Structure 1
Amino acid sequence: MKTTIAETQKTVPSKKLPGLLKKSYTQKQFEKKILKKIYVAADKEFINNYFTTDADKTGSVRIPKNSEIVKADFIRLKAVAKEIRQQKFGVKLIPLAALVGAIVAVCVVIGMFKNIIVKKAIVAGMQSAFQAKTDIGYLDFQIFGAKLTIKDLQQANKNDVMKNIFQVGEITFDFNLTELLRGKFDAENITVADLLIGTERKTSGYIPIKQKREEKQNESRIADMQKALLADVQKTLSDTFAEYDPQTIIKNVESNLKSPAMAESTKAAIEETVAKWKDTPESMEKSIREFSSSVDTLIKTDWAGVKDPVKLKEALDAINAAVVQGKNIKTQTEKIGADFKSDTEKAERLSKEIGAAIASDKALIDKEIAKFKTLKNDGIGGVFNKVLTAFMYNLFGTYYPYVQKGIDTALQFKSKAAPKPAKKKEKKVSRRMKGTDIYYKNDTVPKFLIENAYGSGANWSVSAKEVSSDPDKRGKPAELSAAFAVNGIDNAISAVIDGRRKTDNPLLSAKYSGSGFPLSLKIDDAYSLAAHSSALSCTVLGDDDGSFRVQGAIDMSGMKIATPSFEPAPVYEIYRKATERFTALKVGFTAGYALESGITLSIDTDAAERFAEVFQSMLASELTSITASAREKVNELLAEKTGGVSAEIAKLTDIQNGIKLQEANFGDMNAALEKAQRDILKQLAGQTGSDAVQKAAGALKGLFGR
């Protein structure tokens, strides 16, 4: 911008300016060599107004040649140019050399041991956090390259020491070297590559960990609460169903049964009848089979196709002989049937008497079972609720140390109150000259800072922002998030750590959601809960006094609950079956810890009411089956006592059925003989005349006795 000059003002030609201000600069050079070295905003604006576009060089600026400058401005321009030139020689060489020597010495020492020191620090920190061994295959800390590279990082799982929680192929930290020289770690960017979850280890990852006294106390409290709940459950079940004992029913009726004694007295008589007739069906079958074989050709021949009278006459003679033999067999069969009926009349009478005795015994059993009182189910829903609460304590106890560890970690990123400086004697300081304004940047970099970290890969991602040791300097809370899937299990977690001293937010607020993971909870080898697939969602709020609150819900499917048996066994079966109905269940929970109240946990679910309804319904239906079970047990006793005679009666019935079967078979064969006889007579009628046929027919009719 060209300054307007009044005619009355004294001017100085621009060619008398210092050489620094007579040159032509590109815009970039002008910024670097002139403006960047002026620290007073008014001086910077003053100089900037004099530099205009250079007419001789495109894209450059300069103070116009042969221009006239007001004397006051000329003096000011010379002063600014002098300040710029003096900056080139503002460093004293001897102190600088000493400083450089010290830095070189420090760098040599650090260069020799830096990787070892950093590696040990990282391993110690991670082992403290994860309570299992940490392995680093390669580490390179490049101070002047402002980079930290870690390769083959393996973090063992304390719950499965031959597996890793995760394994990382390479992690790279890009940090601010300027801040590092000030004793501050400012990670501007972090990249993660080749992250694997749940990999196998070649060596055990176990390390002895000394548990904090507070953690031990809380774990003991959780175990005590579980035991108290389950002891109350067992007592409630025992008190509720102690009145019923199905063995009593059996014992009361056993001595009053009539049928067993009667069965013993009649068994011998029926055995004698069975022994007499047991071979008869087989003997009859043999005789009839032999007779059937002898007439098989006569029966199966198609006589309508035979034209030879001689053959027809021979066939007729053969049938006549067969009819005579059949008549004899028929007479024998009828006699066997009559004799068998006479012998089995006594057996049938004894069978009816035993049946009447058994019916009388069953009536006695029913009368005894009718004394059974209706089962009570008071408080059964509360029992199921207490069992679920015990399992939730088990789940809470598993993850409580991790929540506490998270809060302890968050406390490390909370801003500390600045110590009050010691009082010093005031020193008299001279005031700077008017117009010399000096500006300082606010210190926004704490001793430890991760500005941004991000990593992603197949089925995983992780990010971190504003993780610092002094959030007050940054004015922002730390933000962490991760999402990963392992073996079909999806996990997502996000957390905000607000360690600022002046904030209305909790120190830690986190959200977690996971799905597809199996669940296995076990208490004292007696109670267990297993779910094929579960989904968990929860929020965690933690404060700097160590207290926290967890609220969420777990949704379980493919679930199976196992509980110890109790007496009476039939009622336990109802309880077990009702429990098995719950294959899917959603349980809301609220858990927490505070120094004053200790561990607290409550669940929110309609499972207790639903279980009570299922149990009541099954109780109503199973009451019949329980009494039926008692009847079945008594019937087993009856079957044991009367089984001998019943078996003999069954044998006698089989013999009777066998005789009737052979009678029926012989009747079918006689019918076939009659048909063959008619076919032959019909054919003879066509060959020898009707008179001969009539005579032959009369003769046959006499043979059959009709």
Structure 2
Amino acid sequence: MKTTVAKTQKTVPAKKLPGLLKKSYTRKQFEKKILKKIYVAADKEFINNYFTADADKTDSVRIPKNSEIVKADFIRLKTIAKEIRQQKFGIKLIPLAALVGAIVAVCVVVGMFKNIIVKRAIVAGMQSAFQAKTDIGYLDFQIFGAKLTIKDLQQANKNDVMKNIFQVGEITFDFNLTELLCGKFDAENITVADVLIGTERKTSGYIPIKQKREEKQNESRIADMQKALLADVQKTLSDTFAEYNPQTIIENVESNLKSPAMAESTKTAIEETVAKWKDTPQSMEKSIREFSSSVDTLIKTDWAGVKDPVKLKEALDAINAAVVQGKNIKTQTEKIAADFKSDTETAERLSKEIGAAIASDKALIDKEIAKFKTLKNDGIGGVFNKVLTAFMYNLFGTYYPYVQKGIDTALQFKSKAAPKPAKKKAKKVSRRMKGTDIYYKNDTVPKFLIENAYGSGANWSVSAKEVSSDPDKRGKPAELSAAFAVKGIDNAISAVIDGRRKTDNPLLSAKYSGSGFPLSLKIDDAYSLAARSSALSCTVLGDDDGSFRVQGALDMRGMKIATPSFEPAPVYEIYRKATERFTALKVGFTAGYALESGIVLSIDTDAAERFAEIFQSMLASELTSLTASAREKVNELLAEKTGGVSAEIAKLTDIQNGIKLQEANFGDMNAALEKAQRDILKQLAGQAGSDAVQKAAGALKGLFGR
């Protein structure tokens, strides 16, 4: 059988109690200073049991001096003593004066600088939103009047720093003072007057703005996507029409061409022949010219008028000598002609072979060109579609930062999750002091609230409802809308921001429609799109993770697209003319951004099919001139490849013609000598008798070999 031994409890001497419980009290004092200030009955009974009659004083009570108190009771006694001391009341003048002074100082500072503080806060917020300078001419914040008045508010345009996006004559906020004293801004009513759009500024509205890293990255992604699309466009155009380039035709049939290789191999042989005979025609011409000069007088003299027999006899002797010299020249000329013919037989054969090879090559190229009865246009519609997509990326990149800022702004009006209370250790005994229960009504006013705001004027209106920092307290989403017209451009926008934590709606849903605005998109010096008048309608859905989706349509009128040229030039001309046919176009689009997929964009239009039809029609009508141009350029390139040997052949032909010309010239001169001979003999026959004439004629005939 086990024996249980009770553990000795720890005790604390009574002299360690707080001074309040070590004193001796009369019954009346004990009631007033101790028991009256204890509101829990159990505590009152507990402490009353410890105060017993004082052995030193009659009619008094106290906790015995030398007694030992169990530790748990000792702690409880100390706690009760602390609660009693906290109920002491007294006014300390020095701390009170310091507090009053601080309050007065705060009131003075707020009274003096409240307008400056509010003005700077508004300017900083607007400049951050619009990324351009904000000017406020006058601001008055009346705390006790519960009113904020702003006059001559000007917001600069970051894209045109010498103009304002808008200028407001006066804005008045009526707010709830009670809520303001609770640290909440509740704008019950807002009025706006004298709004002007696109006014001129006297000073520049530029301010340096540091772009967010994410914005820079996304803008860079958009630029990269544009470049990739356009690079693909250029590659597709090059690949599609490369085979119709004359140079490509040459490259395709180059292995079957005969003339270039033959020209290269025969050029040296022909060059050597040309070098040998190039001076021969000039040498022959000089020799014949000198001979012609020596007999010129004999040939040109009118012998029918000469009656002197002596002169006739002398002339006959001179002609006889000339005939002998002419016979020598004739022999030399015939030898030159024979030698030239012998040397040029091979060259003439090669020349004929090269001519035949060139003719064969041209026939082969003509055969290749003749295949192009219809040019392919595979993918040409897709090319035009990619060009339009690149321009839509350009437009999306322009307005993407504004959409992102809209979502960032909407996030400011989303209800925040309530902070989790810190965990506390549960107490074994729960007690509370005596007091009164107070019940509060449900708090429906967040720290920032605009219940209703409206403004209107000539060609503009704006409204806002339930804009708050905690939509959960209001139970309603914020509603915003605006409509305005500037220089013939109509704009309308509406948005719903649902920042409640429990909702099936997106954080931001907005609709925009605008018409009458000119459009100018430029990717680089080569690609540009301009439209005289455009209309845009779209819907934007954004969520609190930064993702969003934009869906809409862009209708363009008076449109002109510029694109870079490509080879072959005739095909580019057809492409350019087909592009110019598009003066009006409607493009549907879907764009968005998500953390997982990044930036995406797609377009919906029949432009690709329409462009392909126009291109094919124009291509058919231009096919004849296209093939003629290709044939001309191919022949030029082929002539360039065989031009060297062709030039040498031409030189050889010129030499041959020169030799023949000199032969002909010598023949003409001989004929003239024969005529002069006949004339002289005729005259001599009339004077010296027929026997002498016949004898002279026979001698001359023998000289000329006739």
Q: What is the TM-score with the length of structure 2 in the denominator?
A: 0.58
Displacement of 1:84 in angstroms is: 33
Distance change in 2, residues 1:353/1:73 (3 Å): closer
Point out the structure with max Rg over C-alpha. 2
Greater shift in the superposed pair: 634-643 or 671-680: 671-680
Output the CA distance in 2 between the equivalents of 1:497 and 1:62: 70
Distance change in 2, residues 1:422/1:331 (3 Å): closer
Distance change in 2, residues 1:248/1:422 (3 Å): closer
Output the CA distance in 1 between the equivalents of 2:158 and 2:278: 76
Question: Identity percentage over the alignment?
Answer: 96
Greater shift in the superposed pair: 602-611 or 687-696: 687-696
The answer to whether the 8 Å contact 2:40/2:434 transfers is no
- Deviations along 1:487-543, one digit per CA (max 9) or x if unpaired, are 111111101110011111111111111111111111121111111111111111111
Distance change in 2, residues 1:103/1:244 (3 Å): same
Displacement of 1:688 in angstroms is: 82
Output the CA distance in 1 between the equivalents of 2:292 and 2:191: 98
Output the CA distance in 2 between the equivalents of 1:305 and 1:3: 189
Displacement of 1:281 in angstroms is: 46
Q: Give unmatched runs, 5+ long, in structure 1.
A: none
Structure 1 residues 360-399: aligned runs within 5 Å: 370=370, 374-399=374-399
Output the CA distance in 2 between the equivalents of 1:395 and 1:35: 82
Greater shift in the superposed pair: 197-206 or 423-432: 423-432
- Deviations along 1:159-208, one digit per CA (max 9) or x if unpaired, are 11111111111111111111111111111111111111111212111111
Matched, 1:75 2:75: yes
Displacement of 1:9 in angstroms is: 66
Displacement of 1:611 in angstroms is: 1.1
Output the CA distance in 1 between the equivalents of 2:647 and 2:32: 117
Greater shift in the superposed pair: 364-373 or 331-340: 331-340
Q: Give unmatched runs, 5+ long, in structure 2.
A: none
Greater shift in the superposed pair: 129-138 or 41-50: 41-50
The answer to whether the 8 Å contact 1:478/1:496 transfers is yes
Output the CA distance in 1 between the equivalents of 2:339 and 2:181: 123
Greater shift in the superposed pair: 629-638 or 290-299: 290-299
The answer to whether the 8 Å contact 1:5/1:70 transfers is no
Structure 1 residues 254-269: aligned runs within 5 Å: none
Distance change in 2, residues 1:345/1:557 (3 Å): farther
- Deviations along 1:50-70, one digit per CA (max 9) or x if unpaired, are 999999999999999999999
The answer to whether the 8 Å contact 2:512/2:537 transfers is yes
The answer to whether the 8 Å contact 1:39/1:438 transfers is no
Displacement of 1:136 in angstroms is: 1.0
- Deviations along 1:385-423, one digit per CA (max 9) or x if unpaired, are 111111111111111111111111111100011112335
Displacement of 1:6 in angstroms is: 72
The answer to whether the 8 Å contact 2:146/2:175 transfers is yes
* Aligned Cα root-mean-square deviation (Å): 25.3
Distance change in 2, residues 1:116/1:362 (3 Å): same
Distance change in 2, residues 1:317/1:256 (3 Å): same
Greater shift in the superposed pair: 141-150 or 71-80: 71-80
Displacement of 1:441 in angstroms is: 2.6
The answer to whether the 8 Å contact 1:413/1:467 transfers is yes
Output the CA distance in 2 between the equivalents of 1:251 and 1:38: 111
Greater shift in the superposed pair: 164-173 or 319-328: 319-328
- Deviations along 1:651-702, one digit per CA (max 9) or x if unpaired, are 9999999999999999999999999999999999999999999999999999
Greater shift in the superposed pair: 429-438 or 227-236: 429-438
Distance change in 2, residues 1:94/1:651 (3 Å): same
Displacement of 1:585 in angstroms is: 0.9
The answer to whether the 8 Å contact 1:250/1:630 transfers is no
Displacement of 1:607 in angstroms is: 1.1
Output the CA distance in 1 between the equivalents of 2:218 and 2:632: 52
Greater shift in the superposed pair: 203-212 or 16-25: 16-25
The answer to whether the 8 Å contact 1:3/1:50 transfers is no
Distance change in 2, residues 1:359/1:85 (3 Å): same
Output the CA distance in 1 between the equivalents of 2:39 and 2:64: 24
Output the CA distance in 2 between the equivalents of 1:305 and 1:32: 185
The answer to whether the 8 Å contact 1:166/1:198 transfers is yes
Greater shift in the superposed pair: 116-125 or 361-370: 361-370
The answer to whether the 8 Å contact 1:460/1:484 transfers is yes
Could you tell me which residue of structure 2 aligns to residue 457 of structure 1? Answer: 457
Output the CA distance in 1 between the equivalents of 2:242 and 2:544: 51
Displacement of 1:358 in angstroms is: 22
Output the CA distance in 1 between the equivalents of 2:166 and 2:629: 56
The answer to whether the 8 Å contact 2:589/2:602 transfers is yes
For the residue of structure 1 that corresponds to 2:256, the secondary structure is coil
The answer to whether the 8 Å contact 1:2/1:52 transfers is no
| Total equivalences in the alignment | 706
For the residue of structure 1 that corresponds to 2:512, the secondary structure is strand
- Deviations along 1:608-638, one digit per CA (max 9) or x if unpaired, are 1111111111111221343576799999999
Distance change in 2, residues 1:282/1:597 (3 Å): closer
For the residue of structure 1 that corresponds to 2:439, the secondary structure is coil
Output the CA distance in 2 between the equivalents of 1:221 and 1:378: 29
Output the CA distance in 1 between the equivalents of 2:259 and 2:631: 15
- Deviations along 1:32-90, one digit per CA (max 9) or x if unpaired, are 99999999999999999999999999999999999999999999999999999999999
Output the CA distance in 1 between the equivalents of 2:682 and 2:36: 140
Displacement of 1:243 in angstroms is: 2.3
Output the CA distance in 1 between the equivalents of 2:475 and 2:151: 33
For the residue of structure 1 that corresponds to 2:5, the secondary structure is coil
Output the CA distance in 2 between the equivalents of 1:606 and 1:592: 22
Output the CA distance in 1 between the equivalents of 2:62 and 2:537: 66
Distance change in 2, residues 1:87/1:347 (3 Å): same
Greater shift in the superposed pair: 479-488 or 371-380: 371-380
Displacement of 1:151 in angstroms is: 1.1
Displacement of 1:568 in angstroms is: 0.8
Greater shift in the superposed pair: 100-109 or 547-556: 100-109
Displacement of 1:239 in angstroms is: 1.1
Output the CA distance in 2 between the equivalents of 1:322 and 1:4: 173
Greater shift in the superposed pair: 173-182 or 243-252: 243-252
For the residue of structure 2 that corresponds to 1:87, the secondary structure is coil
Output the CA distance in 2 between the equivalents of 1:588 and 1:25: 94
Greater shift in the superposed pair: 664-673 or 170-179: 664-673
Distance change in 2, residues 1:28/1:425 (3 Å): closer
The answer to whether the 8 Å contact 1:2/1:50 transfers is no
Greater shift in the superposed pair: 32-41 or 423-432: 32-41
Displacement of 1:155 in angstroms is: 1.0
Could you tell me which residue of structure 1 aligns to residue 118 of structure 2? Answer: 118
Greater shift in the superposed pair: 239-248 or 223-232: 239-248
Distance change in 2, residues 1:326/1:468 (3 Å): farther
For the residue of structure 1 that corresponds to 2:82, the secondary structure is helix
Distance change in 2, residues 1:635/1:179 (3 Å): same
Output the CA distance in 1 between the equivalents of 2:678 and 2:58: 137
The answer to whether the 8 Å contact 1:414/1:471 transfers is yes
The answer to whether the 8 Å contact 1:40/1:436 transfers is no
Could you tell me which residue of structure 2 aligns to residue 55 of structure 1? Answer: 55
Output the CA distance in 1 between the equivalents of 2:34 and 2:378: 92
- Deviations along 1:267-324, one digit per CA (max 9) or x if unpaired, are 9999999999999999999999999999999999999999999999999999999999
Distance change in 2, residues 1:256/1:474 (3 Å): closer
Greater shift in the superposed pair: 46-55 or 457-466: 46-55
The answer to whether the 8 Å contact 2:520/2:531 transfers is yes
The answer to whether the 8 Å contact 1:162/1:205 transfers is yes
Distance change in 2, residues 1:211/1:348 (3 Å): closer
Could you tell me which residue of structure 2 aligns to residue 304 of structure 1? Answer: 304
Distance change in 2, residues 1:492/1:34 (3 Å): farther
The answer to whether the 8 Å contact 2:47/2:77 transfers is yes
Could you tell me which residue of structure 1 aligns to residue 181 of structure 2? Answer: 181
Distance change in 2, residues 1:235/1:689 (3 Å): closer
The answer to whether the 8 Å contact 2:373/2:623 transfers is no
The answer to whether the 8 Å contact 1:40/1:437 transfers is no
The answer to whether the 8 Å contact 1:40/1:438 transfers is no
Q: What is the TM-score with the length of structure 1 in the denominator?
A: 0.58
The answer to whether the 8 Å contact 2:247/2:637 transfers is no
The answer to whether the 8 Å contact 2:245/2:630 transfers is no
- Deviations along 1:110-143, one digit per CA (max 9) or x if unpaired, are 1100011001101111111111111111111111
Output the CA distance in 2 between the equivalents of 1:234 and 1:691: 98
- Deviations along 1:555-574, one digit per CA (max 9) or x if unpaired, are 11111111001111110111
Output the CA distance in 2 between the equivalents of 1:292 and 1:32: 168
The answer to whether the 8 Å contact 2:395/2:521 transfers is yes
